Chain A
Amino acid sequence: MLTKETLTAFGANCDEGLSRCMNNETLYFKLVQMALGDGKLTALRTALESGNLDESFELAHALKGVHANLALTPILTPLATLTEKLRARDGSGWEPLLAEAEKQTEDLKALAAG
């Protein structure tokens, strides 16, 4: 179950994320759950594997924006690096970055389910 404490322990900047949600915890947790379940990371992997740099950049950029707004730092960090690589149309070395983002997302999902 998501709580302020579990999110903080995960590494999220909870205060920042909450303040964007006008300190409405219910809304914040709801949006975090939405971010975890929207399937965009899967779509990003598919796009990267198929070598579609434009679509990959758009997806990475969108994911970065959402996770930045929710202050989910452990997921944001590899996504931000990946976005910049893709912006420079560098299609190499994405695998560890995406894998890190996927791992952090799965960890958070486990916390949310726990």
Chain B
Amino acid sequence: MDDNAFFRRTVLIVDDEPINREILGTMIGGDYEILHAGDGAEAMRMIGDYGMTLSLILLDLLMPVMDGYQVLQKLGEDETLKRIPVIVLTSEKSAEVKSLAMGAVDFIPKPYDMPEIIMARVQRTIQLAEDAAIIKSMENDDLTGLYSGRFFFEYANRIEQYDASRAMDAIAINISNFHLINDLYGRAIGDEVLRSLADNLMTELGSGMGVVCRENADNFLLYVAHRDDHAEVLERIVTRMRRTEGIKNLHIRMGVYPNVDHDVPMEARFVRARHACNAICGNLAKNMAVYDEEMHRKEIFSQRLIEDFEDALSQGQFVVHYQPKYSILGEKPELVGAEALVRWQHPEFGLLAPGAFVPLLETYCLISKLDRYVWNKAAAHIREWKNRWGSSLPVSVNVSRIDMHDVDFKDSLLSTVRDNGITPQDCVLEITESAYAGYAAHLVEIVTELRQQGFRVEMDDFGSGYSSLNMLAELPLDGIKMDMRLISNITTSDKARQVVKLVIGMAKLLELPIIAEGVEDKVQYDLLKHLDCDVIQGFYFARPMPPEEFVKLLHKGE
């Protein structure tokens, strides 16, 4: 063993004959620390004292007081101690089967073989036991006792090897808002819920029908024989767990990739199951989704976009369009700015709106690259419009939440401005309110610095998420942009109208300009004007347009 140089393993020799103990001890004592016991009872006391620091027990069978079989039985009854390997010392062939059945791993026949043979058996036994212990420790998840993710795939692949034609289902399971269970009930209860789910999954789906693992956190994977009643099984588990765990709102999501295609690699089968599971994330009305053709099509599409992204950037497939912003404070609407909005002119899929790729790029942490690309394009257009038309209209660009955490975010913005020969005052940075969640102090610091550099900063999508009044009080802003979903109902819903009125009133109190986006018709426009909204952006005035069209507006304005 390579690491013998670092420490000497300990071997316990149990034999009532001191001469036999001495001979064996001499044979292997060069490489191991040797302990001696003269009978089973003494052996058990020493095993109790030394525990798992014993690497091996060499055990005689016929001894006074307590014989070797009794020692094997006692070890077998102890979950921990039974992992210490035992080699039985015997001259009786007939004793071998019984000893093996009781947990012995090997035999050393009496009279003893040559020392080299005995040493080799001892070394091999210890090595195997240690390897098995290492494998065991990695094989199972400590909390639930289920397979760990890594071994799960090993076993799933083994099932495949034995019977590649069997109809199987790949399943991903996740507890909705599990962090809330931890937060509300405490970590111990959270762990208990995970254990309970593991037990239920094993009972309902795992045992004898496939393999189950806790991949990480509250994510479980199952590879089980195909069945059609997963929804019922899940319902049973949730009902039972709500009762046993006392969590009335427990919601468990299940994504099923049924009847897996055996040509799809094992890992990819679970990508599909997870995909189905994620498809109902946030939808508490549904607890099960099946991976189907539509999902497959979307997945392939997403995969293509991710694969094509870098080439698209380098080939300039991303185009920046501009949607004008109009001040409606005066009698006539006045062009006061524009928002730069990206489109992807994909060679195969045509012109793609941001909704088709921005969330995807956010998921794959590629959005910062695209943002920088857009900032640069917008800065170049601003420069051009300044040169040709003497325009001083500020242009808004989007800043993603992830950008805020880039260490070179500010420098990158400043160099974009500098390299294009414009000033920070020419730009408005639109940050989303979600950037505030969890990172309030950091966001306040960044926004303060950006404004000191001369950038204007507006809060985008206000009202779309957990809009925080604290955020409005703490963040030094230059404007608030209401989420278009707030606007969409103002002509039909009194409540929506009241909320918009409230937000506008709040902005006025804070002396911040308020911008409404997604304004589509005259009724909405009139209402917003009536409510004293400052700036409007939306189809009512103009759709996002290519720069060459926007230039015409600038020209007209001039």
Contact = CB atoms under 8 A, between A and B. Distances in A.
Contacts of A107: none
B91 A62 contact: no
A20 B17 contact: no
Chain A residues touching B, range:
20 to 34
A46 B16 CA distance: 20
A22 B27 contact: yes
A68 interface: yes
Nearest to A28: B23
Contacts of A20: 23, 27, 111-112, 114-115
Contact of B111 (A21, A62, A65): A65
B145 to A, nearest CB: 43
A68 B20 CA distance: 10
A99 to B, nearest CB: 23
A62 B16 contact: yes
Contacts of B22: 27, 31
Given A61-B62, A65-B91, A68-B91, A27 B20 contact: no
B1 interface: no
B227 interface: no
Given A31-B22, A35-B19, A65 B27 contact: no
A31 B23 contact: yes
Interface in B104-125: 110-112, 114-115
Interface string A59-89: 0011011101111000000000000000000
Interface in B18-33: 18-20, 22-23, 26-27
A24 B277 CA distance: 70
A95 B149 CA distance: 68
A65 B26 contact: no
Contacts, number: 50
Interface in A7-65: 19-22, 24, 27, 31, 34-35, 38, 58, 61-62, 64-65
Contact of B20 (A19, A24, A69, A71): A69
Given A22-B26, A22-B27, A24-B26, A68 B111 contact: yes
Contacts of B18: 34
Contacts of B62: 58, 61-62
Contacts of B27: 20, 22
Contacts of B19: 31, 34-35, 38, 66, 69-70
Contacts of B112: 20, 69
Contacts of B17: 62, 65-66
Nearest to B17: A66
A22 B62 CA distance: 26
A65 B114 contact: no
Interface residues of B, number: 17
Contacts of A27: 22, 26
A68 B64 CA distance: 20
Contact of B110 (A22, A35, A58, A65): A65
Contacts of A31: 19, 22-23
Interface in B86-141: 91, 110-112, 114-115
A72 to B, nearest CB: 11
B20 A22 contact: no
Nearest to A55: B64
A43 to B, nearest CB: 12
A69 B23 contact: yes
A44 B27 CA distance: 29
A27 B115 CA distance: 15
A50 B264 CA distance: 77
Nearest to A27: B26
A71 B23 contact: no
A61 B115 CA distance: 22
A21 B16 contact: no
Given A62-B62, A68-B111, A21 B23 contact: yes
B197 to A, nearest CB: 55
A95 B15 CA distance: 28
Nearest to B118: A20
A38 to B, nearest CB: 8
Contacts of B16: 62
Which of A58, A62, A64: most chain B Cβ within 10 A?
A62
Given A20-B115, A35-B19, 11 more contacts: A19-B114, A20-B23, A20-B114, A21-B26, A22-B26, A22-B27, A27-B22, A65-B91, A66-B19, A68-B91, A68-B111
12 contacts: A19-B114, A20-B23, A20-B27, A21-B23, A22-B27, A27-B26, A35-B19, A62-B62, A65-B20, A65-B91, A65-B110, A68-B111
